[in-house]
Structure 1
């Protein structure tokens, strides 16, 4: 993940909106909180690149330590920095049916 101030992470919780080094720290802290016991099945991935920019989407299944599964929608934009691909924008959301959202 890029540590530049323009990097953006938007998570599933409305309060999860982080930039730069804070985004990387958030991901590290989340992993530590879960004790490394999260299981991820990547599922379908689509990825593309043009020059020094790449983007992708995925629909993984994540199993939490308590056994609960959920399937977020994930997208990211990457940029090549000093020869390595770094995430500069990442977004995760959990789909809610329109009927439920509007009820």
Structure 2
């Protein structure tokens, strides 16, 4: 699975709820997933001539716009937005996240 982010995966941000890319990343990690992180750089606010990085161009091909975070699951499903990605991660925990270590 691939997670397209802006510059990083940090959570703290001067906005309620933290940084969207970090929120998405940590929701996936909390669900036991280990996404390949693709730093897209640029900004979704910028017009097309200024979003020329490979990551932003791929996001545009996948979604029709330049906004990250974007998750591409192993089956090719594309999910855009930190809330949507967090919801998906909660609904689809990795088998690794379900390991309890209990002996039956």
Instruction: Tell me which interval the TM-score lies in, with the shorter structure as reference length.
Output: under 0.3
The structure showing larger relative contact order (alpha-carbon pairs under 8 Å, at least 6 residues apart) is 2
More strand as a share of residues: 1
